[in-house]
Amino acid sequence: MTQGKYIYGIMDTSEEKYYNLKGIGNEGSTVHSLSFEDVAALVSDSPVKEYPISRENTLKHMKILERFMDDRTFLPVKFGTVAVGNGSRNSEERIKMEVLKARYSEVKKLLGHLRNKVELGLKAIWPEKEMIFKEIVEENKDIQKLKEKISSKGVNQTYKERIKLGRMVKDALDKKRTEEEKKIIKAFQGLYWDLRFNKKFGDKMVTNTAFLVPEDKLKDFDKKIEELDSMYKGEMRFQYIGPVPPCNFVELVVKLEEGQSGAH
């Protein structure tokens, strides 16, 4: 099988060295760096193949990123990226010339953007859906009236009303979720550099947000989480993770397949 280099990310160092760390897959290849001037790609030897998005593979990829993000400013590269040689250059030379050199200005700009910042993730979840629906009914007179109208008639006579009630409740739920999310995000004003809203799952999730936070604001951010938790008194559950690699804010796409240029 053709051999190449699996790329984890790019960091701000001129150092080329081997680390006491095994790379992705079962080959046991050692993680090492390849540099151009003052930037370097973190790689390990790998067969040229497609890596399945399995729990084992993604955890290994992320653990390697986490191992280096504490010491260096680090740009994650998209999971599963393997560089292969072509007729004129091997995989190592292509990474140096077609990524690190060709995209040097882009890489330096992104490293500057992320310097001394970390990613924190926050999920806010309503613990009891029934309680939220009860609040929505109590807060909305039109929903109350329609519910009373439905309850006074037989099931066969209220099909259209029940469809309408379902839509009204969904609209009210979406509005309440949006208002609560804005309130939560506003609490962190001045504590983050950037943020990304990620997909919400289910009716109970209020926000699923990633924050890019300056390192000197981490304690203030932690304190704000505690204040929110105390303020909601169990009516909102917060899941807080990080620091983690800043994959929500930058994930370089590198294409070094046979016959392709890496300057994308």
Percent of the chain's residues with pLDDT above 70: 92
Instruction: Check residue 261 and give its pLDDT.
Output: 45
pLDDT at residue 263 is higher than 50 = no
Selection from 1, 100, 94, 98 nearest residue 50 by Cα: 1
pLDDT tens-digit readout, 43-65: 999 988 899 999 999 999 999 99
| Degrees to nearest 5, angle at CA 211 with 210 and 216 | 150
Boundaries of every domain in the chain = 3-115, 118-244
**Higher local confidence (pLDDT), 143 or 98:** 98
User: Residue 257 corresponds to which amino acid?
Assistant: E
- Backbone φ and ψ for 162, nearest 5 degrees, come out as -70, -35
- Distance in angstroms (rounded) separating the CA atoms of residues 214 and 191: 8
**Higher local confidence (pLDDT), 135 or 223:** 223
Position 251 confidence tier, pLDDT thresholds 50, 70, 90: confident
**Higher local confidence (pLDDT), 261 or 36:** 36
Tokens found for residue 156: 């066969």
- Distance in angstroms (rounded) separating the CA atoms of residues 33 and 124: 38
Characterise 259 by phi-psi region: left (phi > 0), alpha (psi -120 to 50), beta (else). left
Q: Does pTM top 0.85 for this prediction?
A: no
Instruction: Check residue 5 and give its pLDDT.
Output: 93
CB-count exposure of residue 48 (10 Å: 0-12, 13-18, 19+): middle
Position 222 confidence tier, pLDDT thresholds 50, 70, 90: very high
pLDDT at residue 264 is higher than 70 = no
pLDDT at residue 205 is higher than 50 = yes
CB 249 within 8 A of CB 212: yes
Considering only CA atoms, give the Rg of the chain.
Answer: 25
Adjacent-strand bridge partners of 43? 7, 32
pLDDT tens-digit readout, 150-196: 677 766 667 777 778 778 878 888 888 999 999 999 999 999 999 99
